[in-house]
Amino acid sequence: MSYSELREDFPTLRQEDAPAYLDNACVTLKPDSVIKSISDYYSMYPGCGGRSVHRYGTQVSRLVSNSRKSVADFINAKSVNEVVFSRNTTHSINQIAKGITWQPGDVIITGDREHNSNLVPWLQLAEEQGIEHIIVKSNEDNTFNLENFEQLCDDHGERLKMVSLSHVGNLDGIDIPIAKIAEITHRYDALIAVDGAQSAPHMNVDVQALDIDFLSFSIHKMCGPSGMGGLWGRYELLDELRSIQSGGQTVETAHYDSVKWAAPPARFEGGLGNFAGMIASGKAIEYLSELNMDDVHEHEIKLNAIITKRIKHLEPIEIIGPEDASKRGGICSILMGDLPSHDIALLLDEAAGVMVRSGQHCVHSWFNSRGIENGSLRASAYFYNTEEEAKLFADTFCEAVEAFS
Ligand SMILES: Cc1ncc(COP(=O)(O)O)c(C=O)c1O
Protein backbone atom coordinates (compact mmCIF):
# COMPACT_ATOMS: atom_id res chain seq x y z
CA MET A 1 0.00 0.00 0.00
CA SER A 2 1.43 3.36 -0.95
CA TYR A 3 0.54 6.55 0.85
CA SER A 4 -0.43 8.13 -2.48
CA GLU A 5 -3.23 5.60 -2.81
CA LEU A 6 -4.55 6.64 0.59
CA ARG A 7 -5.11 10.15 -0.74
CA GLU A 8 -8.22 8.72 -2.41
CA ASP A 9 -9.73 8.24 1.07
CA PHE A 10 -9.72 12.00 1.72
CA PRO A 11 -12.46 14.09 0.09
CA THR A 12 -10.34 17.26 0.29
CA LEU A 13 -7.52 15.53 -1.61
CA ARG A 14 -9.88 14.16 -4.28
CA GLN A 15 -10.91 17.66 -5.32
CA GLU A 16 -9.50 19.01 -8.55
CA ASP A 17 -7.97 22.00 -6.74
CA ALA A 18 -6.71 19.93 -3.81
CA PRO A 19 -4.22 21.94 -1.80
CA ALA A 20 -0.73 20.84 -0.82
CA TYR A 21 -1.89 20.70 2.78
CA LEU A 22 1.15 21.17 5.03
CA ASP A 23 -0.53 22.44 8.19
CA ASN A 24 -0.94 19.05 9.82
CA ALA A 25 0.62 20.07 13.13
CA CYS A 26 -2.45 22.28 13.56
CA VAL A 27 -5.16 19.93 12.36
CA THR A 28 -5.23 17.05 9.87
CA LEU A 29 -7.57 16.19 7.03
CA LYS A 30 -10.32 13.60 7.58
CA PRO A 31 -10.91 10.37 5.65
CA ASP A 32 -14.34 9.25 4.40
CA SER A 33 -14.78 6.70 7.20
CA VAL A 34 -14.54 9.42 9.85
CA ILE A 35 -16.91 11.77 8.04
CA LYS A 36 -19.40 8.99 7.35
CA SER A 37 -19.47 7.88 11.00
CA ILE A 38 -20.47 11.40 12.05
CA SER A 39 -23.24 11.52 9.52
CA ASP A 40 -24.36 7.97 10.47
CA TYR A 41 -24.67 8.98 14.11
CA TYR A 42 -26.91 11.97 13.36
CA SER A 43 -28.95 10.28 10.69
CA MET A 44 -29.36 6.77 12.10
CA TYR A 45 -28.94 6.60 15.90
CA PRO A 46 -28.69 10.11 17.38
CA GLY A 47 -29.14 8.90 20.95
CA CYS A 48 -27.35 9.13 24.25
CA GLY A 49 -24.76 6.51 25.16
CA GLY A 50 -24.25 5.15 28.65
CA ARG A 51 -27.72 6.03 29.89
CA SER A 52 -30.74 5.29 27.70
CA VAL A 53 -31.47 1.60 27.19
CA HIS A 54 -33.45 1.88 23.95
CA ARG A 55 -31.96 0.84 20.60
CA TYR A 56 -30.33 4.19 19.87
CA GLY A 57 -28.81 4.35 23.32
CA THR A 58 -27.46 0.81 23.16
CA GLN A 59 -26.00 1.28 19.70
CA VAL A 60 -24.20 4.48 20.75
CA SER A 61 -22.86 2.85 23.94
CA ARG A 62 -21.51 -0.05 21.91
CA LEU A 63 -19.82 2.17 19.32
CA VAL A 64 -18.31 4.45 21.96
CA SER A 65 -16.85 1.50 23.81
CA ASN A 66 -15.42 0.13 20.54
CA SER A 67 -13.79 3.54 20.00
CA ARG A 68 -12.30 3.55 23.46
CA LYS A 69 -10.88 0.09 22.81
CA SER A 70 -9.31 1.25 19.53
CA VAL A 71 -7.62 4.18 21.29
CA ALA A 72 -6.43 1.95 24.16
CA ASP A 73 -4.90 -0.54 21.70
CA PHE A 74 -3.26 2.21 19.65
CA ILE A 75 -1.26 3.53 22.61
CA ASN A 76 -0.96 0.11 24.28
CA ALA A 77 -2.93 1.05 27.39
CA LYS A 78 -3.38 -1.75 29.90
CA SER A 79 -7.12 -1.19 30.09
CA VAL A 80 -9.87 0.66 28.23
CA ASN A 81 -10.74 2.32 31.53
CA GLU A 82 -7.48 4.26 31.33
CA VAL A 83 -8.72 6.15 28.27
CA VAL A 84 -10.73 9.34 28.77
CA PHE A 85 -12.29 11.21 25.86
CA SER A 86 -11.61 14.91 26.19
CA ARG A 87 -12.06 17.96 23.98
CA ASN A 88 -8.37 18.27 23.08
CA THR A 89 -4.85 18.17 24.54
CA THR A 90 -5.49 21.46 26.34
CA HIS A 91 -8.45 19.97 28.18
CA SER A 92 -6.51 16.82 29.05
CA ILE A 93 -3.55 18.73 30.49
CA ASN A 94 -5.89 20.96 32.50
CA GLN A 95 -7.58 17.85 33.87
CA ILE A 96 -4.22 16.58 35.12
CA ALA A 97 -2.98 19.93 36.46
CA LYS A 98 -6.20 20.86 38.23
CA GLY A 99 -7.23 17.38 39.29
CA ILE A 100 -4.28 16.84 41.64
CA THR A 101 -4.03 18.32 45.14
CA TRP A 102 -0.83 20.37 45.34
CA GLN A 103 0.97 21.89 48.30
CA PRO A 104 2.63 25.30 48.13
CA GLY A 105 6.27 24.77 47.18
CA ASP A 106 5.64 21.61 45.16
CA VAL A 107 7.91 21.73 42.12
CA ILE A 108 6.74 21.16 38.56
CA ILE A 109 9.18 21.05 35.66
CA THR A 110 8.27 21.88 32.07
CA GLY A 111 10.44 22.70 29.04
CA ASP A 112 11.42 25.97 27.35
CA ARG A 113 9.64 25.15 24.07
CA GLU A 114 6.20 24.15 25.34
CA HIS A 115 2.92 24.93 23.66
CA ASN A 116 0.88 27.31 25.84
CA SER A 117 -1.34 24.36 26.71
CA ASN A 118 1.54 22.77 28.61
CA LEU A 119 2.71 26.03 30.12
CA VAL A 120 -0.26 28.18 31.08
CA PRO A 121 -2.05 25.59 33.30
CA TRP A 122 1.16 25.28 35.37
CA LEU A 123 1.64 29.06 35.46
CA GLN A 124 -1.94 29.29 36.69
CA LEU A 125 -1.16 26.81 39.49
CA ALA A 126 1.88 28.87 40.44
CA GLU A 127 -0.28 31.99 40.57
CA GLU A 128 -3.22 30.45 42.40
CA GLN A 129 -1.75 27.68 44.52
CA GLY A 130 1.88 28.61 45.08
CA ILE A 131 3.50 25.69 43.27
CA GLU A 132 7.00 26.37 41.98
CA HIS A 133 7.24 26.13 38.20
CA ILE A 134 10.72 25.45 36.85
CA ILE A 135 11.84 25.35 33.25
CA VAL A 136 14.48 23.02 31.89
CA LYS A 137 16.65 24.81 29.35
CA SER A 138 17.23 23.11 26.00
CA ASN A 139 20.54 22.93 24.17
CA GLU A 140 21.41 25.73 21.72
CA ASP A 141 19.83 23.77 18.86
CA ASN A 142 16.58 23.19 20.85
CA THR A 143 17.34 19.51 21.52
CA PHE A 144 16.70 18.26 25.05
CA ASN A 145 19.42 18.77 27.62
CA LEU A 146 19.34 15.67 29.83
CA GLU A 147 22.15 17.01 32.01
CA ASN A 148 20.25 20.21 32.81
CA PHE A 149 17.17 18.14 33.50
CA GLU A 150 18.90 15.74 35.87
CA GLN A 151 20.50 18.66 37.65
CA LEU A 152 17.10 20.33 38.19
CA CYS A 153 15.63 17.09 39.52
CA ASP A 154 18.57 16.82 41.88
CA ASP A 155 18.30 20.44 42.98
CA HIS A 156 14.67 20.03 44.00
CA GLY A 157 14.72 16.46 45.27
CA GLU A 158 11.67 15.61 47.34
CA ARG A 159 9.84 18.78 46.34
CA LEU A 160 9.74 17.63 42.72
CA LYS A 161 6.22 16.32 42.09
CA MET A 162 5.60 16.52 38.36
CA VAL A 163 7.48 16.68 35.08
CA SER A 164 5.29 17.72 32.16
CA LEU A 165 6.92 17.84 28.72
CA SER A 166 5.89 17.75 25.10
CA HIS A 167 7.16 14.58 23.47
CA VAL A 168 7.53 16.36 20.12
CA GLY A 169 7.57 20.15 19.91
CA ASN A 170 5.07 21.83 17.63
CA LEU A 171 7.58 24.67 17.36
CA ASP A 172 10.31 22.60 15.72
CA GLY A 173 9.34 18.90 15.46
CA ILE A 174 12.15 17.85 17.82
CA ASP A 175 11.39 14.77 19.90
CA ILE A 176 12.84 14.28 23.34
CA PRO A 177 14.00 11.04 25.03
CA ILE A 178 10.83 10.44 27.02
CA ALA A 179 11.67 6.92 28.25
CA LYS A 180 14.94 8.15 29.76
CA ILE A 181 13.24 11.25 31.19
CA ALA A 182 10.53 9.04 32.74
CA GLU A 183 13.17 6.85 34.33
CA ILE A 184 14.91 9.85 35.89
CA THR A 185 11.60 11.40 37.01
CA HIS A 186 10.54 8.22 38.77
CA ARG A 187 13.87 8.05 40.59
CA TYR A 188 12.65 11.18 42.39
CA ASP A 189 9.19 9.70 43.06
CA ALA A 190 7.63 12.34 40.81
CA LEU A 191 5.04 11.86 38.07
CA ILE A 192 5.58 12.38 34.35
CA ALA A 193 2.85 13.78 32.12
CA VAL A 194 3.55 13.71 28.39
CA ASP A 195 2.01 16.15 25.94
CA GLY A 196 1.64 13.80 22.99
CA ALA A 197 -0.18 16.23 20.69
CA GLN A 198 2.63 16.05 18.11
CA SER A 199 3.88 12.52 18.78
CA ALA A 200 0.80 10.30 18.97
CA PRO A 201 -0.25 11.19 15.38
CA HIS A 202 3.20 10.62 13.89
CA MET A 203 5.08 7.82 15.64
CA ASN A 204 4.64 4.78 17.81
CA VAL A 205 3.69 5.89 21.29
CA ASP A 206 3.51 2.94 23.68
CA VAL A 207 2.58 4.23 27.12
CA GLN A 208 3.74 1.06 28.86
CA ALA A 209 7.09 0.87 27.09
CA LEU A 210 7.75 4.56 27.79
CA ASP A 211 6.73 3.96 31.43
CA ILE A 212 4.98 7.32 31.72
CA ASP A 213 2.08 8.32 33.98
CA PHE A 214 -0.16 10.48 31.78
CA LEU A 215 -0.47 11.12 28.04
CA SER A 216 -2.53 13.91 26.47
CA PHE A 217 -3.31 13.96 22.76
CA SER A 218 -5.51 15.63 20.16
CA ILE A 219 -7.56 13.27 18.01
CA HIS A 220 -8.25 16.13 15.57
CA LYS A 221 -4.52 15.95 14.73
CA MET A 222 -4.94 12.21 14.04
CA CYS A 223 -7.51 12.34 11.21
CA GLY A 224 -10.31 12.60 13.78
CA PRO A 225 -13.02 15.21 14.30
CA SER A 226 -12.48 18.70 15.69
CA GLY A 227 -13.19 19.04 19.38
CA MET A 228 -11.94 15.55 20.24
CA GLY A 229 -8.88 14.60 22.24
CA GLY A 230 -7.79 11.99 24.72
CA LEU A 231 -6.25 11.60 28.11
CA TRP A 232 -4.56 8.39 29.15
CA GLY A 233 -3.43 7.85 32.72
CA ARG A 234 -2.29 4.87 34.77
CA TYR A 235 -5.52 3.62 36.31
CA GLU A 236 -4.50 4.04 39.92
CA LEU A 237 -3.54 7.66 39.21
CA LEU A 238 -6.76 8.43 37.36
CA ASP A 239 -8.62 6.89 40.26
CA GLU A 240 -7.04 9.47 42.60
CA LEU A 241 -7.68 12.40 40.27
CA ARG A 242 -10.47 14.97 40.93
CA SER A 243 -12.71 15.73 37.99
CA ILE A 244 -12.56 19.34 36.80
CA GLN A 245 -16.09 19.05 35.43
CA SER A 246 -18.54 17.44 37.80
CA GLY A 247 -22.22 16.67 37.24
CA GLY A 248 -24.12 14.10 35.23
CA GLN A 249 -22.10 10.98 34.34
CA THR A 250 -19.35 11.80 36.86
CA VAL A 251 -20.99 10.11 39.86
CA GLU A 252 -22.21 6.66 40.70
CA THR A 253 -24.87 8.21 42.91
CA ALA A 254 -25.59 11.42 44.81
CA HIS A 255 -27.49 12.39 47.95
CA TYR A 256 -28.52 15.87 49.10
CA ASP A 257 -25.29 16.12 51.04
CA SER A 258 -22.78 13.76 49.40
CA VAL A 259 -21.65 12.06 46.21
CA LYS A 260 -20.09 8.76 45.31
CA TRP A 261 -17.75 9.48 42.40
CA ALA A 262 -17.89 7.29 39.33
CA ALA A 263 -14.81 5.28 38.45
CA PRO A 264 -12.59 6.47 35.57
CA PRO A 265 -13.15 7.20 32.75
CA ALA A 266 -16.79 8.26 33.38
CA ARG A 267 -15.73 10.57 36.23
CA PHE A 268 -13.93 12.79 33.72
CA GLU A 269 -16.58 12.85 31.00
CA GLY A 270 -19.18 15.06 32.65
CA GLY A 271 -22.37 16.05 30.85
CA LEU A 272 -23.87 14.71 27.65
CA GLY A 273 -20.96 13.59 25.49
CA ASN A 274 -20.00 14.44 21.94
CA PHE A 275 -21.06 10.97 20.83
CA ALA A 276 -20.59 11.59 17.12
CA GLY A 277 -17.09 12.81 17.96
CA MET A 278 -16.28 9.80 20.12
CA ILE A 279 -17.49 7.34 17.49
CA ALA A 280 -15.62 9.19 14.73
CA SER A 281 -12.50 9.24 16.93
CA GLY A 282 -12.59 5.46 16.93
CA LYS A 283 -12.80 5.45 13.13
CA ALA A 284 -9.80 7.80 12.91
CA ILE A 285 -7.70 5.67 15.22
CA GLU A 286 -8.74 2.51 13.39
CA TYR A 287 -7.61 4.20 10.17
CA LEU A 288 -4.19 5.01 11.68
CA SER A 289 -3.96 1.52 13.16
CA GLU A 290 -3.85 0.12 9.62
CA LEU A 291 -0.63 2.08 9.02
CA ASN A 292 2.84 1.31 10.28
CA MET A 293 3.63 4.32 12.46
CA ASP A 294 7.40 3.84 12.09
CA ASP A 295 6.94 4.13 8.32
CA VAL A 296 4.73 7.18 8.74
CA HIS A 297 7.49 8.84 10.75
CA GLU A 298 10.13 7.92 8.14
CA HIS A 299 7.93 9.19 5.32
CA GLU A 300 7.51 12.56 7.04
CA ILE A 301 11.25 12.82 7.64
CA LYS A 302 11.88 12.09 3.96
CA LEU A 303 9.59 14.97 2.96
CA ASN A 304 11.21 17.24 5.53
CA ALA A 305 14.66 16.36 4.16
CA ILE A 306 13.53 17.37 0.66
CA ILE A 307 12.27 20.70 1.96
CA THR A 308 15.36 21.30 4.07
CA LYS A 309 17.78 20.61 1.22
CA ARG A 310 16.00 23.04 -1.09
CA ILE A 311 15.65 25.98 1.30
CA LYS A 312 18.56 25.82 3.72
CA HIS A 313 20.85 28.05 1.62
CA LEU A 314 18.34 30.93 1.54
CA GLU A 315 19.05 34.27 3.22
CA PRO A 316 17.85 35.58 5.65
CA ILE A 317 15.83 32.58 6.75
CA GLU A 318 16.85 30.02 9.36
CA ILE A 319 15.35 26.63 10.16
CA ILE A 320 14.61 26.18 13.87
CA GLY A 321 16.46 23.19 15.32
CA PRO A 322 19.13 20.90 13.85
CA GLU A 323 19.70 20.97 10.10
CA ASP A 324 19.32 17.17 10.06
CA ALA A 325 15.65 16.62 9.19
CA SER A 326 15.59 13.25 10.94
CA LYS A 327 15.76 15.18 14.21
CA ARG A 328 12.74 17.31 13.29
CA GLY A 329 10.19 14.68 12.18
CA GLY A 330 7.70 16.16 9.73
CA ILE A 331 8.05 19.76 10.87
CA CYS A 332 10.09 22.43 9.12
CA SER A 333 9.71 25.67 11.05
CA ILE A 334 11.47 28.66 9.55
CA LEU A 335 12.52 31.96 11.12
CA MET A 336 11.90 34.64 8.55
CA GLY A 337 14.12 37.52 9.68
CA ASP A 338 12.28 40.72 8.73
CA LEU A 339 10.30 39.09 5.95
CA PRO A 340 6.52 39.13 6.44
CA SER A 341 5.70 35.51 7.33
CA HIS A 342 1.90 35.93 7.16
CA ASP A 343 2.09 37.53 3.72
CA ILE A 344 4.35 34.76 2.47
CA ALA A 345 1.99 32.11 3.88
CA LEU A 346 -0.92 33.79 2.08
CA LEU A 347 1.05 33.97 -1.13
CA LEU A 348 1.97 30.27 -0.94
CA ASP A 349 -1.71 29.37 -0.91
CA GLU A 350 -2.76 31.90 -3.55
CA ALA A 351 0.09 31.18 -5.96
CA ALA A 352 0.54 27.43 -5.52
CA GLY A 353 -2.23 26.08 -3.26
CA VAL A 354 0.27 25.35 -0.49
CA MET A 355 -1.18 25.64 3.02
CA VAL A 356 1.22 26.26 5.90
CA ARG A 357 1.06 28.04 9.24
CA SER A 358 2.67 31.35 10.15
CA GLY A 359 2.98 33.02 13.54
CA GLN A 360 4.11 31.96 16.99
CA HIS A 361 2.22 28.63 17.03
CA CYS A 362 1.12 29.14 20.68
CA VAL A 363 4.76 28.91 21.79
CA HIS A 364 4.89 32.62 22.61
CA SER A 365 7.32 32.09 25.49
CA TRP A 366 10.08 30.79 23.18
CA PHE A 367 9.71 33.68 20.71
CA ASN A 368 9.30 36.30 23.46
CA SER A 369 12.46 35.13 25.21
CA ARG A 370 14.34 35.82 21.97
CA GLY A 371 12.49 39.01 21.02
CA ILE A 372 11.22 37.45 17.77
CA GLU A 373 7.85 39.06 17.06
CA ASN A 374 7.61 37.78 13.51
CA GLY A 375 7.23 34.16 14.60
CA SER A 376 8.03 31.48 12.05
CA LEU A 377 6.57 29.91 8.97
CA ARG A 378 5.89 26.23 9.59
CA ALA A 379 5.32 23.40 7.12
CA SER A 380 4.18 20.17 8.74
CA ALA A 381 3.70 16.93 6.84
CA TYR A 382 1.56 13.83 7.27
CA PHE A 383 1.49 10.44 5.59
CA TYR A 384 -0.76 11.65 2.74
CA ASN A 385 1.68 14.35 1.65
CA THR A 386 3.81 13.60 -1.39
CA GLU A 387 7.35 14.39 -2.49
CA GLU A 388 5.87 16.60 -5.22
CA GLU A 389 4.08 18.62 -2.55
CA ALA A 390 7.27 19.00 -0.53
CA LYS A 391 9.08 20.24 -3.65
CA LEU A 392 6.22 22.55 -4.57
CA PHE A 393 6.33 24.13 -1.12
CA ALA A 394 10.11 24.49 -1.13
CA ASP A 395 10.32 25.96 -4.64
CA THR A 396 7.43 28.39 -4.18
CA PHE A 397 8.84 29.38 -0.80
CA CYS A 398 12.25 30.15 -2.38
CA GLU A 399 10.55 32.32 -5.02
CA ALA A 400 8.51 34.12 -2.36
CA VAL A 401 11.56 34.81 -0.20
CA GLU A 402 13.39 36.23 -3.23
CA ALA A 403 10.41 38.36 -4.18
CA PHE A 404 10.07 39.83 -0.68
CA SER A 405 13.81 40.33 -0.06
C1 LIG B 1 2.60 20.19 21.39
C2 LIG B 1 1.19 20.67 21.52
N3 LIG B 1 0.61 20.68 22.71
C4 LIG B 1 -0.65 21.08 22.89
C5 LIG B 1 -1.41 21.51 21.84
C6 LIG B 1 -2.82 21.93 22.06
O7 LIG B 1 -3.67 21.07 21.38
P8 LIG B 1 -5.22 21.37 21.33
O9 LIG B 1 -5.37 22.67 20.63
O10 LIG B 1 -5.77 20.23 20.58
O11 LIG B 1 -5.68 21.44 22.72
C12 LIG B 1 -0.86 21.53 20.56
C13 LIG B 1 -1.61 22.05 19.41
O14 LIG B 1 -1.09 22.39 18.39
C15 LIG B 1 0.47 21.10 20.40
O16 LIG B 1 1.05 21.08 19.20
Confidence (pTM): 0.98
CATH fold match for the domains 3-23+292-404 and 45-289: no
**pLDDT greater than 70 at residue 1:** no
**How much is the mean pLDDT over the chain?**
97
How do residues 118-131 score in pLDDT, each as one tens digit? 999 999 999 999 99
- Give the DSSP H or E segment for 279: helix 275-289
**pLDDT greater than 70 at residue 35:** yes
CATH of domain 3-23+292-404: 3.90.1150.10
Q: Above pLDDT 70, what percent of the chain?
A: 100
User: HEC states along 246-267?
Assistant: CCCCCEEEECCCCEEECCCCHH
**pLDDT greater than 70 at residue 46:** yes
* Vertex 257: Cα angle to 255 and 263 (nearest 5): 55
Nearest residue CA, atom 15 of ligand 1? 197
> What is the Å distance from ligand 1's center to 89 Cα?
6
How do residues 128-145 score in pLDDT, each as one tens digit? 999 999 999 999 999 999
Task: With beta carbons less than 8 A apart as the criterion, state whether 321 and 312 touch.
Answer: no
How do residues 302-358 score in pLDDT, each as one tens digit? 999 999 999 999 999 999 999 999 999 999 999 999 999 999 999 999 999 999 999
The pLDDT value recorded for residue 371 is 96
- Give the DSSP H or E segment for 85: strand 83-86
Nearest residue CA, atom 12 of ligand 1? 197
How do residues 179-229 score in pLDDT, each as one tens digit? 999 999 999 999 999 999 999 999 999 999 999 999 999 999 999 999 999
- Sheet strands side by side (includes 83-86): 83-86, 229-233, 214-218, 191-195, 160-166, 107-111, 132-136
Helix axes 275-289 and 32-44, enclosed angle (nearest 10) = 150
Residues 43-64, mean pLDDT to the nearest whole number: 94
> Could you tell me how many residues make up the chain?
405
**pLDDT greater than 70 at residue 249:** yes
The pLDDT value recorded for residue 263 is 98
**What residue ranges line ligand 1, CB within 6 angstroms?**
25, 88-90, 115, 117-118, 166, 170, 195, 197-198, 218, 229
**pLDDT greater than 70 at residue 105:** yes
> What is the Å distance from ligand 1's center to 26 Cα?
8
Task: With beta carbons less than 8 A apart as the criterion, state whether 357 and 25 touch.
Answer: yes
Query: Could you tell which of 24, 85, 86, 90 is best to mutate to test the pocket of ligand 1, judged by most ligand atoms within 8 Å of the CB?
Result: 90
How do residues 151-180 score in pLDDT, each as one tens digit? 999 999 999 999 999 999 999 999 999 999
The pLDDT value recorded for residue 52 is 85
* CA 77 – CA 231 distance, rounded (Å): 11
The pLDDT value recorded for residue 50 is 86
Query: Could you tell which of 23, 117, 120 is best to mutate to test the pocket of ligand 1, judged by most ligand atoms within 8 Å of the CB?
Result: 117
In the chain, domain spans:
3-23+292-404, 45-289
Query: Could you tell which of 164, 170, 216 is best to mutate to test the pocket of ligand 1, judged by most ligand atoms within 8 Å of the CB?
Result: 170
Domain range 45-289, CATH class: alpha beta
| Reported confidence tier of residue 247, pLDDT bands at 50, 70, 90 | very high
Nearest CA-CA partner of 49 in 215, 268, 272: 272
The pLDDT value recorded for residue 2 is 85
Closest atom, ligand 1, to C-alpha of 361? 14
> What is the Å distance from ligand 1's center to 180 Cα?
23
Catalytic residues: 362
